Structure 1
């Protein structure tokens, strides 16, 4: 059995991914920033289905907390095999002309710096040159990185564009070290994150717009988790530096 770390796993895509990785036999580290009760519920759900998991708190925007997170993983007697960089934040919808530097810094601290830090620590543990067994890193980006999210979340979209560059660049750095690095770019998915942006019904609004989503519906977190778990699996053993757009045709 190997370890899988899923950041931001207390809800949404992270939760669905943690459940599916546990079904594949991983001991799952369920990372959360502040939703301790929800994270423990994920752990309980995994154990109820016969899996193995534990919750671990860390704000990935804080380097010291990232270091402590990976030191907690080091206490396990199992090697790290999978990192899913899922944690991400956004704020209330607004135009670029109304953005503040503080908001930009907070979005990039989690969505970009946090992802880089987690990748850095994972590579130190996975790379064959460091005595690791290899592994898979999956970055949860967004279709917004391609589409820009005008009028709503250009800052969030830009942070996911940076994550896409991380995916491509890191995949080339570590391909010979037994580590595959890929990305899933979800579109409009039914998760609680839309409420964070001030519009809980955003997916239904967009889905009702003619032609906005070619498939005519929003996606489910479990559908994104399926793509993530496939990229983590041996079924994707010759896949690295690539992107799966799971956005209903957008």
Structure 2
């Protein structure tokens, strides 16, 4: 079965008010998709985003770790725009203060793993409609930290790796229904329009990453959105991780 972006007319971007989510929303809307922008705590940002976009779009608020709020949000999208045929999940619990795994707070690990549960619940909610349509795209925004460890981010990296594995299983299980499932995994992302304010420790890590990269600059949010669009466009790519690290070697 061959499906194209023209067939995938309604996209739900979870975490659509973050830097990467905003870029994905703008890119998909620019290609003619009707986009539902999910937010958790920034409705004004979501409204401002769709106000500047051509076409029919929607904002929905929800704590995705709440099953009821998640279900209500998808119900709203389906009622106003139609069944979701593209799910881009850029939502994830925020990073707590970096800590070694052996010194970490179990509550911080639980918070990160809640993001994995939310990803599974989102997919479970939209997949039946994708099956009925005979087409669908699921794209999870992960990150290099799932395979390239950095001290202090073990809980975050573990959660990203878990959600990545779930996405690969979806690819295996739903492919015959015309649904693809892939992962976009950026490394450090820099928005050239925003001042880059780093602590000395962060700046030192940034310099080390740049030395390891093949390209002379870090990817931008627009680059990440272009990667998402590539996967939305393709009916033949599934179960894959698209590393957007500027050529930094990643093993794992």
Q: Same fold (TM over 0.5)?
A: yes
Cα distance in structure 2, aligned partners of 1:31 and 1:202: 33
Equivalent residue, structure 1, for 2:91: 87
Distance 1:124 1:160, change over 3 A: same
Give the aligned CA root-mean-square deviation in angstroms. 2.0
Equivalent residue, structure 1, for 2:127: 123
Contact 1:227 1:244 in 2 (8 A): yes
Equivalent residue, structure 1, for 2:136: 135
- Mapped pair 1:32 → 2:39: yes
* 1:198-246 Cα distance to aligned partner (Å, 9 max, x none): 957876543323624343432211100000011011xx11111111000
Q: SS at the partner of 1:75?
A: helix
Cα distance in structure 2, aligned partners of 1:25 and 1:205: 41
Distance 1:212 1:5, change over 3 A: same
Equivalent residue, structure 2, for 1:109: 114
Q: SS at the partner of 2:237?
A: coil
> TM-score of the superposition, structure 2-length normalised?
0.86
Q: SS at the partner of 1:80?
A: coil
Q: SS at the partner of 1:147?
A: coil
**Structure 1: which 5+ residue stretches go unaligned?**
192-197
Q: SS at the partner of 1:217?
A: coil
Tell me whether 69-78 or 135-144 shows the greater mean CA deviation: 69-78
**Structure 2: which 5+ residue stretches go unaligned?**
1-7, 192-196
Cα distance in structure 2, aligned partners of 1:60 and 1:249: 33
Q: SS at the partner of 1:184?
A: strand
Pairing partner for 2:241 from 236, 243, 246: 243
Distance 1:83 1:104, change over 3 A: same
